[in-house]
A and B are shown apart, each in its own frame.
Chain A
């Protein structure tokens, strides 16, 4: 086996430099600034600053409203991840069948991914709003008492559905690719052995999809934690009450609306640690059960 070397020792560094600079400027620098800010008590204009130690963290962790945001986030994330992956898998399984015009279905199923989250949320608003939305008005007319502007459960349901909808296309693409990479001979072998469709799905398809599923689990968990901000912002702004205020939304509210930079930074540091822990946990415990074919 031949290995290639770069003659000029500087060249490889030069080649990765743009990516490194981007990462440093747009990730590490703000992260470090956030860490620094989380240790300070400061007015929004930065005119008066005092060192607070870990007081901001202590205040955040002692705040019962932070506990509420943690609970909302757990319910929300679990529902979004489960919903988006389940629907994506069902659609991918259906679209993997040899059908007439399957390319059309596939293309159309990918479309929602191209819709920006804020636009998707506006779309759902026009569907679900109890007085201007088409579906919302129907629900009210059927006396189901639908009103997500005042009912916390309705609001949470709505942001979950909207977030799932924006994410399904992404999962669909990956599941479809995963399904297509499974050799047909395996399914044929299973059929010869007398397996039903479900048995073949359960014992052949799912295990071979495990790497895809695992990857999507990690990515969807991060999506539900961080990228659902726009949907919540456009639909409920965290309300009614604090029924849809997730951790990331609380970071925004406390930092940008309430101008409490210390608390907001402390929360984002906690969120960062949470994301790291969650991801490494998934890799440590779940990856063992994944077989890369």
Chain B
């Protein structure tokens, strides 16, 4: 791993105003809107308040958003010719992709931190250990999404990447029960939901809030997604280099 390269890639992102606006403020705004719509009660069938449940959801969604932004830049860099420029350096393509995943992970941490602070101001009370579990758990569990972002970046072109990006974000958000609690979903949709990696990402956060969760299943599902998406990235990479 080329540390100087990763550092400069990171700097590009954190100095980008648009990145902060979309990946951080959007989840907060949606969160505040939803908790005012759902009110003070608990999510049906659980003992978690909407404020706490949705805090976990939007911490997850904000993280997903950040990783997908990083991934989508791969498509832009390919279309703009920057990747071509990088091919004239000793940087190997797999190291380039690894750097993108790394930066995707680095940039993910602010979202769960910010959502925790916002949650705290909306009467969510957790022990400091549970806050740490929420933030760090959500952060680590974002790995499959950093890989997914990379895959989208490999598949899309600059003109189409925002379409892929939006579709992925909405599908992961709705089907994974991140944008709204799955408790209002019909049965079949709840089943679909439990296959989505985003559901399990939010569940990692919820585990910190409730103390009860199927953590083993969550880790297993997210690991499986990481492997499947990782294989797709490698497959795609090999196809690209065969050209």
A and B assemble together: no
Chain A interface residues (CB < 8 Å from chain B)? none
Chain B interface residues (CB < 8 Å from chain A)? none
